[in-house]
């Protein structure tokens, strides 16, 4: 079995609190569905997008909203054999992060290690991701039986989690809630 490939990605959120909410919840439209991006893809968030890629493990780190450094870091176990950039692949992501490379400003010239110490693990995000992964694995296991099939099947569920154009999260997530008592 090949060694797992671990990726470490970092981004500078425009607003840390809004970004963290987007990562977990996406951009709900208030009617049970999600807002769409410029291409018409549903903005389902970072976690669902990672689950749609079947990422088995992820850990998250970030600074706090008022810190001099504004940085969000994700460490994921990649399943693909190629790089999957986040910036243009996750619906809505590009509008949530700064792309000029600036991670913060400070009035003192502190060592970089002091500033980077502001980026801390977030066990609650890790747990939220792991619970979502477990819920999806349960759905995958149960849709094998004839009485628990999903209208769109496994492939359709993965596409919906990623927010792919042409998917219907409102309908599919309602079906999952009804059949499995799980909120995706």
Look at residue 1 in the predicted model and tell me its pLDDT. 64
> What pTM was estimated for this model as a whole?
0.91
Whether the CB-CB separation of 90 and 49 falls below 8 Å is answered with yes
Look at residue 83 in the predicted model and tell me its pLDDT. 84
The pair of structure tokens assigned to 73 is 């870091």
Structural domain total, the chain = 1
> How far is residue 178 from each of residues 72, 82, 104, 158, 173, measured CA to CA in Å?
34, 36, 45, 18, 9
Full pLDDT tens readout for the chain, 184 residues: 678 889 999 999 999 999 999 999 999 999 888 999 999 999 999 999 999 999 999 999 999 998 888 999 999 999 888 888 888 899 999 999 998 888 877 788 888 888 789 899 999 999 999 999 999 999 998 887 777 778 888 899 999 999 999 998 888 888 899 888 888 8
Whether the CB-CB separation of 109 and 40 falls below 8 Å is answered with no
Which structural domain, as residue segments, surrounds residue 15? 5-180
What distance in Å separates the CA atoms of residue 42 and residue 27, rounded to the nearest whole number? 8
Look at the chain and count its residues.
184
Look at residue 103 in the predicted model and tell me its pLDDT. 81
Residue 23 neighbours by CB under 8 Å, 6+ apart: 45, 46, 47, 60, 72, 125
CA atoms within 13 A on the CB side of 83: 7
| Sheet strands side by side (includes 97-98) | 97-98, 5-13, 72-78, 58-62, 120-121
């Amino acid at each position: 079995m090949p060694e797992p490939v671990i990726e470490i990605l970092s981004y500078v959120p425009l607003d840390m609190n809004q970004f963290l909410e987007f990562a977990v919840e996406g951009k709900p439209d208030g009617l049970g569905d999600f807002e769409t991006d410029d291409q018409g893809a549903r903005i389902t968030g970072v976690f669902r997008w990672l689950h749609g890629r079947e990422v088995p493990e992820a850990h998250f780190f970030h600074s706090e909203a008022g810190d001099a450094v504004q940085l969000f870091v994700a460490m994921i176990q990649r399943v693909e054999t190629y790089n999957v950039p986040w910036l243009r692949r996750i619906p809505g992501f590009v509008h949530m992060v700064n792309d000029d490379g600036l991670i913060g400003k400070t009035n003192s010239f502190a060592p970089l290690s002091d500033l980077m110490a502001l980026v801390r693990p977030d066990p609650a995000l890790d747990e939220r991701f792991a619970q979502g992964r477990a819920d999806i694995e349960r759905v995958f296991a149960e849709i094998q039986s004839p009485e628990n099939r999903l209208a769109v099947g496994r492939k359709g569920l993965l596409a919906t989690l990623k927010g792919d154009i042409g998917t219907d999260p409102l309908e599919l997530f309602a079906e999952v809630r009804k059949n499995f008592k799980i909120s995706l």
